[in-house]
Amino acid sequence: MGHNTYFLAQNQKEIGIVPPDFLNETAMNQSEWIKKDLEYNWHPYTQMKDCVNFPPILIEKARGAKLYDANGKFYYDTISSWWSNVHGHNHPRIMSAIKKQASLLDHVLFAGFTHKSAILLAEKLVSLAPEGLRKAFFSDNGSTAVETALKMSFQYWRNTGNRRKTKFICLDYGYHGDTVGAMSVSGVGLFNKVFSPLLFSAFKAPSPYCYRCPLGKTRDSCGIDCVGLLENILREKSDNIAALILEPIVMAAGGMIIYPPEYLRRAAELSRKYGIHLIVDEVATAFGRTGKMFASEHASIAPDFMCLSKGLTSGSLPLGATLVSDKIYKAFYGDYREKKAFYHGHTFTANPISCSAALESLKVFEDEDTLGKANKISALFHAGLERFRALEIVGDVRRIGLIGALEIVRDRARKKPFGFEERIGQKIYKEGLKANLILRPLGSIIYLILPLCVKKNEIEYIIDKTYSVIASIKPKVTGGVRPLCD
C-alpha cells in the first residue's frame, strides 16, 4: 500500500502515525469502493462524467481539522465540510452526547410530543440569539429553515388581515438553498437558472459587492450608497412585500462576498421603516464563523426571523432551526376554529440525537472558550491572507473571522474573470489536493472556512500551501463570466 499507509505524505513530525485501527481491509480495495460508489451514487453539485477521470476521494476517518482517505493521506478540511464543522471532526464530547442520547431515545414525532434535548436546545438558542427572538421552530437543514421563515412571514400577513403582502425581496448575489422557495429568493446563477420556470418571482436588489460595486464606487468613499438601491425598490413596492431576506455580512455561495456591517444595519432600519419582516439567513455565518456567535451581531440588529443549520451541531448531524420573535408567534396563536396554526413540519423535526449534539456543541463553546481562541488566532490567518495580494491573478482578498476568500481574475486592472470553460477553480482544486488541501471553488472564488479548532501551525501550513498552489497556476486566457458557483 506504500509508505503513506503508515506515515502521512507531508509534515510527518506534525501529523504522526496513522492509528493501527485505521489500517483495515477497505484501504486495500479503494478502487473497488470507488467503482461501487460510481455505480450507485449520484453526488451533489457534480457533473458525474467528470468522475470517470477524476473520481471522488474515499474518506475513512476524521479528527480535528483533518480528513483521512483510504490510503492514510490527510487533507485539511479547509472548507469545514461545506461550512458545517466548528469544533473539529469527532469532538469527544459531542460524540459522547450522541451515543448517550441514542441509547435512550432515537426519535419521536414532534407534534403532540416533546423531549428534553429539544426543550434545552431551544432555551439555549433563545438565550444566545439577538434580542427579540423568543421561539425556535426546528427542521432538517438550512433550506428547510429558510422555507419555514418564508412561509411563516407569508402566513403572518394573512393571519393579521393583510393579504397584499405576498412578495419577497432579496439580494442578487444571495443564495438561500436548493428547495423551490429558497431558490426563488436567491440570485440567478448556475445552481438555479435551469429551474427558473418553477420559481415564484421576487424583487432582487443589487448586492453590496464592494469589489464589484453596483454603483462603480470604491469602499473608502462610497458611504454605503448601494443601500439606496434597496430602498428604491421598497419605496415603490413595500405594500406588496412580506419580508427582506439576506445573509448577514457574508454572502456565501454567491462568492464569499463580505460586506460592511453598516449595510446590514441600514437594511434592518429600512425593513422597519417600510413595514416588512427581516429574515437573516445565518445558516453559513452563525456559530463563530465571523468572530461572533451570530454574524448579525456585527450590526447589532434585531431580526424577525433567524435561520440556522450547518454549524448548529458542529457538522455532526443534520438539524435546522428558525428562530422567531414573539410578535410573529402570537399571530399564529388562537382558537382552533380561526385556522391560524402553522401547518408545516418534517418527519425528523427536532430529532433528539441531533438536538443533543447541538446542545453539547453550544456547551463546548462556553467551556473551551472557542470564540476567544478563534478570535486570537484569526489575526495570524488575516495576516497570511494579505500575502495573496502580491499574486497577479488574485483580484481581491476578503476576510472576516476564520473565513477568507480570494477572487481569481485574468486581468486585475479590469477585474475581468476567467471564462467558464477554463475552469480555473477546478485547476486550483486539483493542485490543492496534492498539497493536502480542500480548495473547492465557487467559480473563480477560492475560499477558506476553517474549523474554529484550527491551530497556529495548521494555519501556517494551510496559508503557505495555498499560496504555493495559486502562485503555480498559469492558465490560458479566454472569455469571462459572472463568478457565481462552479
Distance between CA 145 and CA 185 in Å, rounded?
14
Cell matching residue 81: 465540510
Short-list 133, 199, 194, CA closest to 167 = 199
**Residue 170 main-chain phi, psi, to 5 deg:** -145, -175
DSSP 7: B
Q: 172, 281, 396, 486: which one is catalytic?
A: 281
**Residue 243 main-chain phi, psi, to 5 deg:** -160, 155
Q: 35, 36, 45, 434: which one is catalytic?
A: 45
Q: How many CB atoms lie within 10 A of CB 339?
A: 9
**239 assigned to active site:** no
Cell matching residue 35: 467503482
- The alpha-carbon radius of gyration of the chain (Å, integer) is 23
Cell matching residue 249: 455580512
Name the β-bridge partners of 269. Answer: none
In a 13 Å sphere around the CA of 240, the CA atoms on its Cβ side amount to 7
Residue with cell 435546522: 320
Amino acid at 220: D
Q: 310, 396, 447, 461: which one is catalytic?
A: 310
**310 assigned to active site:** yes
Q: 68, 76, 173, 175: which one is catalytic?
A: 175
Residues whose CB falls within 8 Å of the CB of residue 181, separated by 6 or more in sequence, listed in order: 146, 147, 150, 151, 200
Question: Could you give the residue ranges of the DSSP H alpha helices within 238-342?
Answer: 261-273, 326-330
Q: How far is CA 266 from the centre of its chain?
A: 23
Question: Could you give the residue ranges of the DSSP H alpha helices within 387-480?
Answer: 424-434, 456-471
Q: What is the largest CA-CA distance in the chain?
A: 71
Active site positions, annotated:
45, 175, 281, 310
